[in-house]
Amino acid sequence: MSSCIFCKILAGEIPAAKIYEDDVVLAFLDIGPISDGHTLMMPRQHIETLHDCPSDILGQICSRLGKIAGAVAKAMNSDGYNVLCNNGGAAGQVVEHLHFHIIPRKTGDKLFHHWPSYKYRQGQTEDIVTSIKKNL
Ligand code: 5GP
Ligand code: ZN
């Protein structure tokens, strides 16, 4: 897709700090990291979101994700890491080419510190489960 910045990286039109590439994926450093080693992994094919991704390609991405995440975490001497996939603008997706963030973490780094959880009201769980099942 000609206007997509990640497709331009894949085409070699703009530079990137590449970590790993093969015929299915490219992993490279995020230009605006939130921790050292913050990595993005994307399919070569321009696919916008996780639910648009054909299952065979998603399987191929995931089969590589653990190896790349483990290497990033080990290299950064991290205590853990997050794998994050933003889908849609409301969820923070800015680049509309499917990608997974691998974010190395240190104990006490306070990234994603506030997780605003709450409790469902009575009956709401059943309604939500029913609604999701209808859409499977
Ligand atoms: P999103 O919010 O879409 O999940 O994340 C997009 C990510 O891509 C951001 O973290 C941003 O820093 C990164 N990014 C945007 N443009 C470029 C670029 O040209 N090169 C690299 N390496 N990363 C980019
Ligand atoms: Zn693209």
Q: For the segment 66-76, what is each residue's pLDDT rounded down to a tens digit?
A: 999 999 999 99
User: 100 CB less than 6 Å from ligand 1?
Assistant: no
Domain ranges of the chain: 5-134
CA distance 20 to 49: 21
CATH number belonging to domain 5-134: 3.30.428.10
pLDDT digits (tens, 9 = 90+) for 109-127: 999 888 899 999 999 999 9
From ligand 1's centre to the CA of 107, what distance in Å?
Answer: 25
Distance from the alpha carbon of residue 86 to the mean position of ligand 2, in angstroms? 15
Q: Global pTM?
A: 0.96
Cβ–Cβ under 8 Å, residues 121 and 58: no
